[in-house]
Amino acid sequence: MAKIMIVDDNPDISETLKTIMELEKHETQTASNGEEFLNKVEKAKPDLVLLDVMMPGMKTKEILAKLKEKGLGNLKIILVTVVRFSDEERKILLNEYNIKDYVTKPFDLPDIVNRIRKHLG
C-alpha cells in the first residue's frame, strides 16, 4: 500500500481518482489547489502525487519550485492535464522538476492505474 496525494480543483476527478486508488488499496489524501497541497504535503509524506496542471491560483511551475524550496523536489509526481506539452516543455518538466509521467484528460482509467503501478513499482 502506498500513500497517494491527489491535487485537482475538479471534485469529480478527485473523487474518481480517490476511489480508484482506494480500490487499489492505497491510502489517499486530496487537495483542491496548490496552496492546500503545499500545506499538507510535508505531513502527508506521499509516495506519489497526481497533480493537475490547470488550477486556479498558483501555477504548476510555482508549485514545483516551492516543493524544491521545501526540500521535497524528489517527490514522484504524475501530472494530470488537458494541456498538450511540446517536446521542449516535456523535457524541462521531466528533467528540471522530477516529473515521472503525465496523463492527459480525459484519461483512460486502466492506463492511469498502470502508470501509477509502474512508478510505485
**Residue pointed to by grid coordinates 484528460:** 105
Per-residue confidence (pLDDT) for residue 59, from 0 to 100: 87
Q: How confident is the model at residue 90 (pLDDT cuts 50, 70, 90)?
A: confident
Distance (Å, whole) CA 17 – CA 4: 10
Task: Walk across the sheet containing 48-52 and list its strands.
Answer: 27-31, 3-7, 48-52, 77-81, 99-104
Q: Where in the sequence is the domain holding 9, given as residue range(s)?
A: 3-120
Q: Mapping DSSP to helix (H, G, I), strand (E, B) and coil, where does residue 98 land?
A: coil
Give the pLDDT score at 94: 77
What span, in angstroms and rounded, lies between the C-alpha atoms of 41 and 45? 6
Average pLDDT over residues 81-96: 79
Question: Into how many domains does the chain fold?
Answer: 1
- In this predicted structure, what is the pLDDT of residue 76? 94
